[in-house]
Amino acid sequence: MIRLEGVHKAFGGTHAALAGVDLEIARGEVFGIIGRSGAGKSTLVRLLNGLERPTSGRVLIDGTDVAALDPAGLRALRRRVGMIFQNFGLLSSRTVSDNVALPLRIAGASKAEIAAKVPALLARVGLADHGGKYPAQLSGGQKQRVGIARALATDPEILLCDEATSALDPETTRSILALIADLNRELGLTIVFITHEMDVVRQVCDRVVVLHAGRAVETGTVADVFLRPQAEETRALIDESGEHAEPVGFDGPIVRLTLHGGAVLDPVLTRIARDTGTDFIILDGRIGRLKDTSFGRLTLGLLGGDTARAIAALREKGDVE
Amino acid sequence: MSTFFVNVDWAEIAQACLDTLTMLGGSLALTVLLGLPLGVVLFLTGAGQAWENRWSHGALAFGVNLLRSVPFIILLIVMIPLTVLLMGTSLGVAGAIPPLVVGAAPFFARLVETALREVDRNTVEAVQAMGATTRDLVFRALLPEALPGIIAAATVTAIALISFTAMAGAVGAGGLGDLAIRFGYQRFQTDVMLVTVVLLLVLVQFLQAAGDRLVRHFTRK
């Protein structure tokens, strides 16, 4: 549905925000773009609705080159692509209802249509009673819900989220992510989610690209990228989210075990301990969820018994480093 | 009271007040009418905006700076031929309005540009991302969002215009400034000077208070 071919983007001078990015995003998927500030994430997402134009390369939405559209064509495309922002981008001078109605007014919808649609949109995001308030009277999470309702007003097929949860606390972030995941399931929306937080990607995304200095250093399913990172930049991002911490001192063989899917629910360690006589000391560990599957990641110290056989047995259940 | 203010001709003061208010009202209305679109165009042609164009922005900015750097008293004199052409006279209230507008509109335009730049970048992008035309963007987002800032700009401009009207008095425009100069300054009638200054002070205070009130009324932050 969305395709980037050799996209370069430079702002003035020689500094390239994007230095040759190829991507393909399928219809109905939640696609994450992760990277540090300055990696080119915001530039990339703005290419998708023509807020920025590539210096070279092509950005295709359903086969249409965004940069080749005339102003009217671009406006028509933008009605099919909703966008939400880190700072919400609400009009402070208008009520919640008027904010949500704005895209409809711009699209030339009739008064009756607007009157019918705005309450439905507000109900969809859980703000049915807040239509008459001004944005300043809402909490951060409520403001982002208004942003989402507004982005959905023109029944888009794609939703672009630019650091949509970065200004929110962890609990509000979870509730906004849950709403976004619902929209993806119920409306079949294709979602492009930009963030610098690995946790956010882990919770909602199907696939992810890691952006570093304007290049896509790694692309793949969230499980692949998160559990078996190939690029150094990816590892660094995962480390920052508290994964892969250095274990406490242990004088003996140490292995890192990664499990995912059903293996998480197997009594792996106790079984191997019984078979091989090796005891396991958990030095660091985490069991958690990737969007739809479970994962476990343990750093184990091995004590006594047949450690070689124990490691071989672990290897059968998951990835061992 | 008449023993303290022997030189004060109250009928003349009343006429001067009326003249000052007419000059202020007329020139403020025209300043907003010309300065607001000029400010919007200055903003839109600026870096990163919808009509981004270095040459037009540079030319406009140069014109605005040029007019702002001419001292108002010089502008009054330089503009006499144009004023006569427009109003038929360079004297009185009518003759004062063109130079007042030319002096204040570029100032107001710059303040409007600044107020528009204060509008949250994400808000502008959000409205563009809805498929808004530039016209939609200006009328449905930028101007409503910047309204408190624009009202504050108009208040500052109105007060600057009052001191301009006093100067215009020096070249025969009438008004309170004219009285202050002719009677208070040139004839050493301190009581006339005092009355005009107090009246100007009251006017400035009133405008500032009214402006602040309107700004508060339209601020939803």
Q: Which domain holds residue A311?
A: 254-320
Phi-psi region of B123 (alpha: psi -120 to 50; beta: other; left: phi over 0): alpha
The verdict on A92 and A15 lying in the same domain is yes
pLDDT given for residue B133 in this prediction: 95
pLDDT confidence of residue A90: 96
Tell me, yes or no, whether A172 and A278 share the same domain: no
Question: Would the pLDDT of B108 be above 60?
Answer: yes
Which of A213, A239, A265 is where one domain is finished?
Answer: A239
**Close Cβ partners of B16 (under 8 Å, ≥ 6 residues apart):** B174, B175, B176, B178, B179, B196
Q: Let me know: does A203 contact A233? Beta carbons within 8 Å.
A: no
**pLDDT tens digits, A95-133:** 999 999 999 999 999 999 999 999 999 999 999 999 999
Residues A230 and A266 in one domain: no
| Residue B209 to chain A, least CA–CA distance (Å) | 22
- CB hemisphere CA count around A209 (13 angstroms): 23
Rounded Cα distance between B184 and B8, Å, is: 10
Please tell me which residue of chain A has the smallest CA distance to B219: A93
The pLDDT value given to residue A246: 59
Rounded to the nearest 5 percent, the helix, strand and coil shares of chain B are 80, 0, 20
Distances (CA, A) of A85 to A143, A168, A183, B209: 10, 12, 17, 37
Is residue A221 within 8 A of residue A207, CB to CB? The reply is yes
Q: At B113, is the pLDDT very low, low, confident or very high (cuts 50, 70, 90)?
A: very high
Residue A151 has pLDDT above 90, yes or no: yes
Q: Half-sphere exposure of A267 toward its Cβ, with a 13 Å CA cutoff?
A: 5
Answer whether B175's CB lies under 8 Å from B165's CB.
yes
User: Contacts from B186-192 at CB under 8 Å and sequence distance 24+?
Assistant: B187/B7, B189/B7, B189/B8, B191/B4, B191/B5, B191/B6, B191/B7, B191/B8, B192/B5, B192/B7, B192/B8
Residues A125 and A154 in one domain: yes
Q: Residue A190: inside a domain, yes or no?
A: yes
Confidence of residue B180 (pLDDT cuts 50, 70, 90): confident
Is residue B1's pLDDT more than 70?
no
pLDDT at A14 over 80: no
A43-56 tens-digit pLDDT: 999 999 999 999 99
pLDDT higher than 70, residue A243: no
pLDDT digits (tens, 9 = 90+) for B32-42: 999 999 999 99
Residue A138 sits in the same domain as residue A201: yes
Average pLDDT (A260-268) is: 80
Examine residue A244 and state whether it is found in any structural domain, yes or no: no
Where residue B125 falls among pLDDT bands split at 50, 70, 90? very high
Distance CA A69, CA B196 (A): 63
Residue at token pair 């250095």: A246
| B221–A136 CB contact, under 8 Å | yes
Q: Decide if A245 is inside a domain.
A: no
Nearest to B140 among A86, A102, A150 (CB): A102
Beta bridge partners of B133: none
pLDDT recorded at residue B45? 96
Would you say the ipTM is above 0.95? no
What is the pLDDT at residue A258? Answer: 86
Does A285 reside within a domain?
yes
Residue B114: predicted pLDDT: 96
| Residue that terminates a domain, selected from A239, A270, A286 | A239
How far is residue B201's CA from residue A64's CA, in Å, rounded to a whole number?
A: 64
Average pLDDT value over all residues in chain A = 90
Q: Structural domain tally of chain A?
A: 2
Do the domain assignments include residue A307?
yes
> B65 touching A, CB under 8 A?
no
Q: Are residues A234 and A258 in the same domain?
A: no
Whether A106 and B129 lie within 8 Å, measured CB to CB = no
Give the CATH number, domain containing residue A55: 3.40.50.300
Q: What is the DSSP string of A196-239?
A: S-HHHHHHH-SEEEEEETTEEEEEEEHHHHHHS--SHHHHHHHH
Residue-level pLDDT at A107: 94
Residue with tokens 């995962």: A238
* Domain end call among A210, A239, A268: A239
Asked whether the beta carbons of B112 and B40 are under 8 A apart, the reply is yes
**Among positive and negative, which fits the CA dihedral B140, B143, B146, B147?**
negative
The rounded distance, in Å, linking the Cα atoms of B170 and B188 is 16
Q: Average pLDDT, stretch A281-288?
A: 83
Residue A249, domain member (yes or no)? no
Give the single-character DSSP code of B220. Answer: -
Residue A189 sits in the same domain as residue A162: yes
pLDDT band at A228 (very low <50, low <70, confident <90, very high): confident
Q: Which residue has the higher pLDDT, A132 or B90?
A: A132
Domains of chain B: 10-218 (1.10.3720.10)
A305 and A187 part of one domain = no
Residue A248 or residue B199, greater confidence: B199
Query: pLDDT class for A304, splitting at 50, 70, 90?
Result: confident
Amino acid A148: pLDDT? 97
Structure tokens at A48: 């998708």
pLDDT interval class at A307 (50, 70, 90): confident
A247 within a domain of the structure (yes/no): no
Cβ–Cβ under 8 Å, residues B106 and B68: yes
Whether A269 and A226 share a structural domain: no
**Residues of chain A whose C-beta is under 8 A from some C-beta in B?**
46, 49, 51, 71, 74-79, 81-83, 85-94, 102-103, 105-107, 134-136, 147, 150, 154, 160
State the pLDDT at residue A261. Answer: 80
pLDDT given for residue A238 in this prediction? 82
Q: Return the number of CB contacts < 8 Å for A and B.
A: 81
**Percent of chain A, pLDDT > 90?**
60
Instruction: Residue A49: list chain B partners with CB under 8 A.
Output: 129
> What pLDDT shows up at residue A105?
96
Q: Is the pLDDT of residue B2 over 80?
A: no
Strands A190-195 and A30-34: parallel
b/e code A31-53 from CB counts within 10 Å (16+ = b): bbbbbeeebbbbbbbbbbbbbbe
What is the domain-level CATH number for residue A259? 3.30.70.260
* Cα-only R_g, chain A: 23
Which residue has tokens 């703005």? A46
- Predicted confidence (pLDDT) at residue A30 exceeds the cutoff of 80: yes
Residues of B in contact with A106 (CB under 8 A): 127, 130-133, 136, 140
pLDDT band of B187, cuts 50, 70, 90: confident
Q: Report which listed range, A301-315, B116-130, B189-203, is most confident.
A: B116-130
Q: Are B109 and B39 in contact (CB under 8 A)?
A: yes
Give me the pLDDT at residue A275, please. 87
In this structure, the answer to whether residues A202 and A267 fall within a common structural domain is: no
Q: In what order do the strands lie in the sheet containing A16-25?
A: A16-25, A2-10, A56-61, A64-65
pLDDT at A245: 55
* Percent of residues, chain A, with pLDDT higher than 70: 97
The torsion angles phi and psi of B203, rounded to 5 degrees, stand at -60, -45
CB atoms closer than 10 angstroms to residue B86: 14
Quote the pLDDT of residue A65.
Answer: 94
d(CA A211, CA A205): 15
* More confident call, B211 vs A37: B211
Confidence of residue A305 (pLDDT cuts 50, 70, 90): confident
CA pair distance A89, A273, nearest whole angstrom: 56
Answer yes or no: are the C-beta atoms of A54 and A47 closer than 8 Å: yes
More confident residue, A170 or B220: A170
For residues A53 and A56, what is the distance between their CA atoms, to the nearest angstrom? 9
- Nearest 5 degrees, angle CA B188-CA B193-CA B194? 125
Q: Given pLDDT bands bounded at 50, 70 and 90, which one contains residue A60?
A: very high
Domain membership flag for residue A248: no
Instruction: Tell me if B120 and A75 make a contact (CB, 8 A cut-off).
Output: no
At residue B189 the predicted structure's pLDDT band, cuts being 50, 70 and 90, is confident
The string of pLDDT tens digits covering residues A163-216 is 999 999 999 999 999 999 999 999 999 999 999 988 889 889 999 999 998 999
Judgement on whether residues A203 and A293 belong to the same structural domain of the protein:
no
A207 and A85 fall within a common domain: yes
Predicted TM-score of the model (pTM): 0.86
Q: Give the residue-averaged pLDDT of B196-210.
A: 93
Res B48: pLDDT: 83
Mean pLDDT taken over chain B: 91
Give me the residues paired with residue A301 across strands: A254, A281
pLDDT of residue A242: 62
